Copies of this chain bind each other. A is one copy, B any other.
Amino acid sequence: MASITYRKAISRVLKETLDNDPRSFMMGEDIGTYEGAYAVTRGFLDKYGPERIKDTPISESVIVGAGIGAAMGGARPIVELMTINFSLLAIDQIVNSAAKLHYMSGGQVTVPLVIRTVSGGGNQLAASHSQSLEGWYAHVPGLFVVAPSTPSDAMGLFRTAYRDPNTVMFIEHSLLYGAKGEVNDDPDFTIPFGKADVKREGEDVTIITYSRMAHVSLGAAKRLSEEGIEAEVVDLRSLRPMDTEAIVESVKKTSRAVVVEEGWKPMGIGAEVSARIMENALEYLDAPVQRVASLDVPMPYARPLEQAVMPDEDRVIEAVHRLF
């Protein structure tokens, strides 16, 4: 067990993959010479050469489409879309091809493709560059969607994603690359899809969250603890499939729940979690499930405004208070 950054963890598991499976290669914008917009692939081009670390044109649709084709043909591409905002230029390929080819072919073809991308705000990149759209992909049957919050989860989930015969959206967060955490050295350490992780135990309220908001929630939980409220923090990790059981189990214990997400509220992850609690644990609730999400606006550029738009510890605490 060593403590490394989220960036390092992803970098390491990518290298491990490239080392172990000659069918694998990476492609994306500026992952080679530039070494990655978030420096995840630093040193990769030197180590693996341009045939396996492929810098692409700025052509998101063919980047993903070519990943699909290569995967169908037996190669194991790992595609990087620089951010989830740009994935909108490839969303047709993801949704209409990757997610559906297995089904439309009656099971004849598979698309074992991992699409890595970066979600979230917080870098003052303004409205078109600060979105959290992973919920859209999790809407679509045929895809898997994971969004790790820690180095260990990133490694465990990446291995599962890579070994899976389906297309997996692997959602990273730009503000987490520097976050440190312990990782398991076992190269066979994997985390199954659809398994949430209780990142903190507590008896009084359940906070369901994922990705960067898991950290915000843990911060809030710590402060709540000081006032005597013990929050259980359930990190979904996997958005499709979603671990209803873990959510319900925790809510049955605490009778109160808050969902914290960085995206917009309507038709978001929080709505889904709330609806699942409604369906599976209504009778256990002492108060209505609260949703904490970004404000319902395009992201403004100015730092104080941007900070006010995204959920923070204060807003999580406020939501918890509303339950008591």
Asked if A285 is an interface residue, CB under 8 A from chain B, the answer is yes
Neighbouring B residues of A103 by C-beta, 8 Å: 127, 297-298, 300
- Bound state CA distance, A289 and B279, in angstroms? 7
What is the number of residues of chain A that contact chain B, defined by CB distance less than 8 Å? 51
Q: Are A138 and B275 in contact (CB under 8 A)?
A: no
A266 at the interface (CB under 8 A from B): yes
Q: Which of B96, B138, B285, B288 has a CB less than 8 Å from the CB of A267? A: B138
- B278 and A288 contact, CB distance less than 8 A: yes
A268 at the interface (CB under 8 A from B): yes
Q: Is the CB of A141 within 8 A of B92?
A: no
A270 to chain B, nearest CB (A): 7
20 contacts between A and B (CB under 8 A): A88-B95, A104-B298, A135-B267, A136-B136, A139-B267, A141-B264, A141-B298, A240-B266, A267-B267, A267-B269, A267-B272, A271-B272, A274-B275, A274-B278, A275-B291, A277-B278, A278-B278, A279-B288, A282-B285, A282-B288
Contacts A100-B128, A103-B298 aside, 10 further interface pairs with beta carbons under 8 A come to A97-B128, A103-B297, A135-B267, A141-B264, A141-B296, A142-B298, A267-B272, A274-B278, A277-B278, A282-B287
